[in-house]
Amino acid sequence: MGLFSKKKGKESKKAAEKKAEFKEYIKGAGGSIVSKSILNGASKLKWLFREDSEHGNGWIAFGDTDTQEYVDNAENMVVVDFNVLANIEPTVLNVYYMPVGSDLEFRFDKTGKYFVDTRTGKEIREPVKHPAQAAFEKNLKFLNQETYPMEFFEGLFAENGGMTLVTAGQVDFPTGEVVLADPLAYLGTKYSTVLERKVTVGSYPVELSVCSSDIVGIRVAAARLILSDKPAVRYEIAMPKGSRAEDFGKPKVFTFFGVDCGLACFADLQAEAEYREFFERWQGENPGKNKYDDYFAALFADSYEKHPKVQNQGGDFLHWEIPGTGHKLAFFSSGMGDGIYSGYWGLNEQGEAVSLVVPFMNPEYF
């Protein structure tokens, strides 16, 4: 009995060590079909295919000794988490995000381990990026140009199957001085961006262009402050206070605003001061509490409940009145999240501003 217990203890220790060595490289990686020969070590990974599948991620792996007769026998193929295969051969992580239809051969030689696309002959030696990550990086390079073709701005707000227009609410401008900022990180601080061009004192609607994509899901592609029902005939970048259009590109002239909490807003300069004063009081009355978690989160959640088809759970936009002021603001998610973004004035034939647009995404990339 004592010897048996000792042996059982050793086996349990080995099992625990093996379990501890297992790495979950990708959370929610999904199931893959892998030949038993690879799993039991009788063969090494040789072929990797990705098929369209309603169940699992579509990846199928064959070993270098697997014959057609062997793989045709369903009992020789097992569905396992993709991470199981990655623990046997970590190089598969480089190709996880490749699309359906991928047909790959695994090779290893004196130059290292890599895959070859059997259809193109291309060697794959570096990790293939997630489609959303690749699109995000491409989008960042596209943003903040001096201007864009009219077709781009028109396309941002062309309602179609993949794009929905949503009115986020009216924003008040008691002074007409326009502020662009991340409301959680920078509104009410020296890091907000006050624009050179003013708008007529009044209240104006904010319209959001919400895209729905298989790659990135529901996202706010652009926001537009509508100043007039007249059409824009051209767009120019919104310059910061004290700068003119001809100053674009000059040192220390920043024609963008920063986002560090995934939100943006249009605001009036006076409303910005009122916002700051309100939260200074609120923070004093609620020491240690967080402005988003303990104040805005519930309001965004309520916004989601009212408009669930055009927002992610938790809420992507909010129409809010600064308590005690009567002045309203509209907050909205900034496309793919944090970054730097620019505003663009839509101008009519007389050069008058009829809108202020902030593009967050180029819908063509998603």
pLDDT value of residue 364: 74
Report d(CA 303, CA 311) in Å as an integer: 9
- Are 259 and 182 members of one domain? yes
Is residue 7 a part of any domain in this protein? no
Q: Which long-range contacts (CB under 8 A, 24 or more apart) does 115-119 make?
A: 115/48, 115/91
Q: What is the full per-residue pLDDT of the chain (366 aa) written as tens digits?
A: 443 344 445 445 444 445 558 899 999 999 999 999 999 999 999 999 999 988 899 999 999 999 999 999 999 999 999 999 999 999 999 999 998 999 999 999 999 999 999 999 999 999 998 877 777 777 778 888 888 999 999 989 988 767 899 999 999 999 999 999 999 999 999 999 999 999 999 999 999 999 988 777 899 999 999 999 999 999 999 999 999 888 888 888 889 999 999 999 999 999 999 999 999 999 999 999 999 999 999 999 999 999 999 999 999 999 999 999 999 999 999 988 889 999 999 999 999 999 999 999 887 766
- Are 203 and 121 members of one domain? no
Q: Compute the residue count for the chain.
A: 366
- Are 282 and 141 members of one domain? yes
- Are 188 and 283 members of one domain? yes
pLDDT value of residue 3: 39
Within 13 Å of residue 347, how many CA atoms lie on the same side as its CB?
14
Using the Cα atoms of residue 191, residue 256, residue 156 and residue 177 in order, give the sign of their dihedral. positive
pLDDT value of residue 111: 95
Secondary structure letter of residue 162 according to DSSP: T
Q: Concatenate the DSSP letters of all residues of 201-269 into one string.
A: SEEEEEEEEEEEETTTEEEEEEEEEE--SSPPSEEEEPPBTT--GGGTTSTT----EEESSSEEEEEEH
- Are 98 and 154 members of one domain? no
- Are 109 and 257 members of one domain? no
- Are 57 and 145 members of one domain? no
Domain's final residue, options 128, 151, 170: 128
pLDDT value of residue 8: 43
- Please name the residues in contact with 48: beta carbons below 8 A apart, sequence gap of 6 or more: 59, 60, 61, 62, 92, 95, 102, 104, 105, 106, 115
pLDDT value of residue 6: 40
Residue written as token pair 């793919």: 336
Domain's final residue, options 128, 148, 176: 128
- Are 228 and 321 members of one domain? yes
In 3D space, the residue among 124, 120, 145 whose CA is nearest the CA of residue 238 turns out to be 145
- Are 166 and 273 members of one domain? yes
Is residue 56 a part of any domain in this protein? yes
Is residue 104 a part of any domain in this protein? yes
Secondary structure letter of residue 118 according to DSSP: T
- Please name the residues in contact with 340: beta carbons below 8 A apart, sequence gap of 6 or more: 143, 144, 256, 257, 258, 259
- Please name the residues in contact with 69: beta carbons below 8 A apart, sequence gap of 6 or more: none
Is residue 267 a part of any domain in this protein? yes
Report d(CA 218, CA 105) in Å as an integer: 36
For 94-111, give the secondary structure using H, E and C.
HHCCCCCCCEEEEEEECC
Residue written as token pair 């009519």: 348
Secondary structure letter of residue 189 according to DSSP: S
In 3D space, the residue among 218, 253, 244 whose CA is nearest the CA of residue 360 turns out to be 218
Report d(CA 344, CA 321) in Å as an integer: 25
- Are 226 and 79 members of one domain? no
Query: Strands, DSSP E only, in 11-86?
Result: 31-35, 45-50, 59-63, 77-81
Is residue 113 a part of any domain in this protein? yes
User: How many independent structural domains does the chain possess?
Assistant: 2
Per the structure, the complete domain to which residue 81 belongs is given by 12-128
- Are 68 and 144 members of one domain? no
pLDDT value of residue 143: 84
Is residue 4 a part of any domain in this protein? no
- Are 151 and 281 members of one domain? yes
Is residue 157 a part of any domain in this protein? yes
Report d(CA 116, CA 137) in Å as an integer: 25
pLDDT value of residue 253: 87
Domain's final residue, options 128, 161, 188: 128
Report d(CA 99, CA 358) in Å as an integer: 32
The radius of gyration of the chain's CA atoms, rounded to the nearest angstrom, is 27
Q: Map residue 179 onto helix, strand or coil.
A: strand
Report d(CA 279, CA 289) in Å as an integer: 11
Is residue 3 a part of any domain in this protein? no
